[in-house]
A and B are shown apart, each in its own frame.
Chain A
Amino acid sequence: MGGGIEHIERQHGRNKLTARERIDVLIDAGTFNELGSCVNTTGQRMDGKKSEAPCDGAIMGTAEIHGRMVTVYASDFTVLGGSIGAQHIQKTAELIKMSAKWGYPMIWLLDSSGGRLGHQDVIIAGIDWYFLLQSQVSGVIPQVNVLMGPCIAGQAYAPTLCDFLLMCRETGNLWLGGPRQTQAATSEKFNKEVGSADYHMALSGTCDVVGADDTETILYTRELMAYLPSNFREKPPYVKPKDDPLRAVPELVEIVPDVYEKSYDMHDVIEALVDDGVYFEIKKEYAKNLITCFCRFNGESVGLVANNPSEPGSILEINSCDKYYRFLQVLDAYNIPLVNLVDTPPVVPGEDQEAIGLLRHFGKILDVYATATIPKISVILREAYSDAGSMIMGGVKGLGADLTYAWPIARFAVEASTQDYRKVVEGIEEDAYEGYLNRSREKVDVFDVGRTFTAQVVDEIINPDDTRRKIIEALNITRNKVEKLPERAKIHGTPPT
């Protein structure tokens, strides 16, 4: 009964499901194995007021999704606003540890007012304990957070430290400082739009998937889990496809114009290529010039990253770099192959982006791409310019791409930039551009770069109709790829931030 009928009705009145109802939507029926259901609170308010708190507001246990084991934690908003008491903390922390030890993904169904402020309790740790544990098991097991309530201050880090954050449009709000707190600290007033699901999707880039209500958001989570392995030692699950691996895709030449200046929506290309036209997009409304999604090729889970020429700008913008950076880390951590569809417009961002660190964000991806040992397959559709982002999309093999294919209309250059630096830098030779600096800017036809292997730009020029078949073949070829990187003392290097 959680916090009692009155609170349950209030929860329903806000069009929210209760914690247990949410768990039921998430998991395969009848698979919930609850842990710690007899726990209650050990605390009381500073002014002596005592309260009841079944499960101390944290319902948790193991369960199955698509027949695969996961662990689930759901905060119960009907119990003291889902706030975190001492037992609540310990339960969640132990669940993180158990999940990592056993190698199961952990799913958070979060709806909590945060720390139980103004209460005295058996103190063992603060919420910082979550953060330490979540970080330490980052890359060991997938951590997925579904936010269907407020999430304020310190607690706001918990969803952000998960690999994926799904937010419910109707009920989810994520703030570093909630409206009341912010007003107390800075006198700023804002409404609920700030910190909402759409806000964190479109603006802050913190949210990965938005669902309309609790049920839809949770069902998206089930969908997402199908693409992820249980832990870093495993490969992602295979699903027997209905689609034909040899299927030709003649529609692609209709979708992609052979006039470079004309744009098209890359979503159409993706839909035509992947198994049954089904893909699961991540950060759909953020940095839309770069698409990141999960999909299947002949039943294998794949992470697909593609330019979208129908959106303005280059992929090398700071936000698209961050989007790619997060996604690529997930792929490499969990052994999911990367497929790039490349079509970079000849655009390089200017001073606005340089002023806030464009190069270091570019550097972040260079670092992850170069050190990712998953299969990296790349198909160049039309244009690939290194300084516009093709270098981090497998547009040249030297950075570590396994197989790079190109369509017959593809063209390449080292630089898309047309800046003449003689105006800003002293001492450049007068005839530098005529003599040698334009060499990097020369747009070169795919047949010119393809006829040598010393250039290492493309492995093979392919018929667009064969693109699906060639990607599946490439994934088969690289399936058992082993790549050893230079040893280092620590798990991490020193990449830019």
Chain B
Amino acid sequence: MGQWMDGYLAKLENNRQESINAGGESRLKVQRDLGKLTARERIDHLLDPGSFDEVGSLVRDTRPPYDGKLRPTPAEGVVMGYGEVDGRPVMVFSMDFTVMSGSLGDQAAWKIAELVEMAGQRRMPVIGIMDSAGERLGIKNGQTGLNGLSRLIRAYCLYSGVIPRIMLLLGPCTGTMAALPVLADFLIMNEQTGFLWLGGDIKTGEAGRAEFHMEKSGQVDLIAEDDADAIDKTKQLLAYLPQNCWEKAPWVDTKDDPDRREEGILAVMPDNPKFTYDIHEIIEKIVDNGEFFELQPDFATHLVTGFCRMAGEVVGVIANNPDELSGIFEIDSSDKYDRFMNFLDAFSIPLVNLVDSTAYVPGDKWERVGIIRHGAKNLHSYSHLTNQKVTIVLRRAYGGANIVMGCSRMQPDNIYGWPTAEFAPTGPDAVVQAVFHKELAKAKEAGNYQEVYDSYLNILKEHFSVMNAREWTSYYMIQEPIDPRDTRSKIIRTLKATRNKKEGLPDKKRYIKPA
């Protein structure tokens, strides 16, 4: 090697050193004192050792700061590149809070935009780690900041449904950039340091925190107790996801018997249909090794969503939970349902629906916020699903819930019912009131109201029972009644039988979905 090379190698080494030094010793200390890992430590935790290939480490913020004070800006505050998680390729970026409080600069926006495009073109997941006090984007003097941010957001949208997009919020994220974590397919938020906000007034102490966005705004999928926990959860989540929309999610040998008969399942459901039970207990008995990876566990808890495996294949489960609000539907559960079913379909992950719901809630309070269009949104989405889909009706399939959960004409691949299943346009009590109100009024005068009411109710309950669905073409159709203890094996067999099914939709440019 000639002597001339030495100088350049020294420059290279210097760049590496600046990257390690990040925003400087004092800023690194602030980061550690907050209980946070640094941007590079987070990447190290996430990726397989030695698999990280960085791009853009030489980039700096070249603009003079407003106050004339020069600050170090290695990699322009965003560490990013290619790496592997459990041997599977991903693209990753990590905002560096020690560099100008992690604020998004012009060059950083361009870097991330290109990383997203690379991930899209190479058809692999993109994982973002946010820790940023805001934006320092410019539009003056030819500065490209806003242009870069819009390009980033656009790229992020264009690859929606092409590659899985995961975001970790391990610090703040504000301004227009705050749209990115909610555009992501999955958002994991640190309960201590995560903060997500567009920019308006803040009134309470919880505003913008992980719990706020989990329980209220419904924008967070998982809450983590610290950075390491968030990264572990990301790895668990990735195991359920394919690399892109053309590939299958990885199969794992779970060593659980596909034909396992579950006696205990009979004990979960109470005899009286007015009593409740926790759907989690059923799910855990059905899935491989009882492992259920639940999403949004504290948002719209009357609808449970999550990943699991069945005979080693990844499956998405969507289930009413009678234990919470009797398993009703309202606008939050509609939104939760909608997002998840679209994800499953986009990535061809089978959908298993477990139905036990008294349907959408009526009344002024709900009409006012558009409960009808929220239900319509679900019908619209379900009608466009071409992935494998199985519906199991456990008990009450009333009204709109019956339909949005994939019954009858909504064309699930198979629909099974437990013998306890009951299909009705709405609760049988309400149907008696609606259809026989004249007869009931007469009975009231005649003094035999209860007798008449009960006789109509019994007729209807018999009429609505799944064991009475004797016409294949019936509205209240199941294709087969099943023994609850065989639910697991029935689902697994169906998934096997439908593995190569193809379903078409009419040609169109885009659909018009209710809001």
What's the minimum C-beta distance from B469 to chain A, rounded to whole angstroms?
10
* A103: min CB distance to chain B, Å: 11
A residues neighboring B (CB under 8 Å): 46, 100, 115, 117-118, 123-126, 128-129, 131-132, 134-140, 153-154, 156-157, 160-161, 163, 174-177, 180-182, 184-186, 188, 190, 194-195, 199, 203-206, 232, 316, 322-323, 325-326, 329-330, 332-333, 335, 348-351, 353-360, 362-364, 366-367, 370-373, 386-387, 391, 396-400, 412-417, 419, 421, 424-429, 431-432, 434-440, 442, 444, 448-449, 451-457, 485-497
Let me know if B202 is at the binding interface, CB within 8 A. yes
Among B157, B203, B426, which residue has its beta carbon within 8 angstroms of that of A366?
B157
Contact for A491 among B154, B360, B364, B508, CB less than 8 A: B508
- Judge whether A154 and B509 touch: CB under 8 Å: no
In the assembled complex, the CB of A165 is this many whole angstroms from the nearest CB of chain B, namely: 9
Residues of B with C-beta under 8 A to A124 = 473
* A488 and B245 form a contact (CB under 8 A): yes
A415 touches B135 (CB 8 A): yes
Tell me the B328-383 residues at the A interface (CB within 8 Å): 334-336, 338-339, 342-343, 345-348, 360-364, 366-373, 375-377, 379-383
Contact sample, A vs B, 26 pairs, CB 8 Å cutoff? A128-B408, A138-B511, A140-B508, A153-B399, A154-B399, A161-B514, A188-B362, A199-B367, A332-B510, A350-B202, A358-B198, A358-B217, A367-B157, A417-B199, A421-B133, A429-B100, A434-B67, A435-B67, A437-B103, A439-B66, A439-B135, A457-B146, A489-B161, A489-B348, A494-B342, A495-B183
The answer, yes or no, to whether B160 is at the interface (CB within 8 Å) is yes
Query: A117 contacts B425, CB within 8 Å?
Result: yes
Chain B residue at minimum C-beta to C-beta distance from A335 = B509
> Is the beta-carbon distance between B66 and A434 smaller than 8 angstroms?
yes
Q: Does B417 belong to the interface (CB within 8 Å)?
A: no
Q: Are A489 and B142 in contact (CB under 8 A)?
A: no
Contact, CB under 8 Å: B198 / A349: yes
Query: CB within 8 Å of A: which of B413-462?
Result: 425-427, 429-431, 433-437, 459
Contact partner, B435, options A117, A126, A332, A496, Cβ 8 Å: A117
Residue from A188, A354, A396 with most neighbouring chain B CB atoms (10 Å): A354
Q: Which residues of B contact A415 (CB under 8 A)?
A: 134-135, 175-176, 199
Q: Which residue of B lies closest to A125 (CB)?
A: B409
B-chain residues with CB within 8 Å of residue A424 when the two chains form the complex: 195, 202, 207-208
Q: A497 to B377, Cβ gap below 8 A? A: yes
> How many angstroms between the C-alpha atoms of A396 and B371 in the bound complex?
34
A322 to B331, alpha carbons, bound, how many Å? Answer: 14
Closest 5 CB pairs of A and B: A177-B362, A417-B199, A398-B150, A350-B200, A493-B160
- Contacting pair B97 A185 (CB below 8 A): no
Q: Are B338 and A497 in contact (CB under 8 A)?
A: yes
| B162 adjacent to A412 (CB under 8 Å) | no
- Cα A375 to Cα B84 in complex, Å, equals 40
B11 interface hit (Cβ, 8 Å): no
Known: A175-B362, A186-B361, A397-B147. A486 touches B162 (CB 8 A): yes
Taking each of B31, B208, B386, B475, which has the highest tally of chain A beta carbons within 10 Å of its own beta carbon? B475
In the complex, the answer to whether A359 meets B196 with C-beta atoms within 8 Å is: yes
Task: Determine which of B146, B185, B514 lies in contact with A326 in the assembled complex, contact meaning CB atoms within 8 Å.
Answer: B514
- B143 at interface (Cβ–Cβ under 8 A)? yes
In the bound complex, CA of A153 to CA of B427 (Å): 12
Complex contact B410–A131 (CB within 8 A): yes
Does B216 reach chain A (CB closer than 8 Å)? yes
CB distance from B491 to the nearest CB of A (A): 22
In the complex, the chain A residue whose C-beta lies closest to that of B348 is: A489
Complex formed: what's the CA distance from A117 to B463 in Å? 12
Closest to A362 in B: B179
Judge if B292 is at the interface, Cβ distance under 8 Å.
no
Say yes or no for B201: interface residue by CB 8 A criterion. Answer: yes
CB–CB A440/B157 < 8 A? no
Which B residues have a C-beta under 8 Å from some C-beta of A?
A: 27, 30-31, 34, 65-67, 69, 71, 97, 100-101, 103, 105, 120, 133-151, 153-154, 157-162, 171-172, 174-176, 178-179, 181-183, 185, 193, 195-204, 207-208, 212, 216-219, 245-246, 334-336, 338-339, 342-343, 345-348, 360-364, 366-373, 375-377, 379-384, 386, 399-400, 403, 407-411, 425-427, 429-431, 433-437, 459, 471, 473-476, 505-515
Taking CB atoms, residues of chain A closer than 8 Å to B27 are: 429
Nearest-CB residue, chain A, relative to B403: A128
Contact of B134 among A123, A348, A400, A421 (CB under 8 A): A421
Q: Is there contact, CB below 8 Å, between B346 and A493?
A: yes
Establish whether residues A184 and B508, one from each chain, have CB atoms under 8 Å apart when the complex forms. no
B-side contacts of A161, CB under 8 Å: 376, 379-380, 514
- B370 closest partner in A (C-beta): A204
B399 touches A330 (CB 8 A): no
Contact A496 B511 (CB under 8 A): no
B103 partner residues in chain A, CB cutoff 8 A: 432, 436-437
A96 to chain B, nearest CB (A): 11
Q: Contacts A357-B335, A439-B138, A444-B140 hold; do A351 and B146 have CB atoms under 8 A apart?
A: no
CA A20 – CA B400 in complex, angstroms?
31
Most chain-A CB neighbours within 10 Å: which of B31, B202, B373, B459? B373
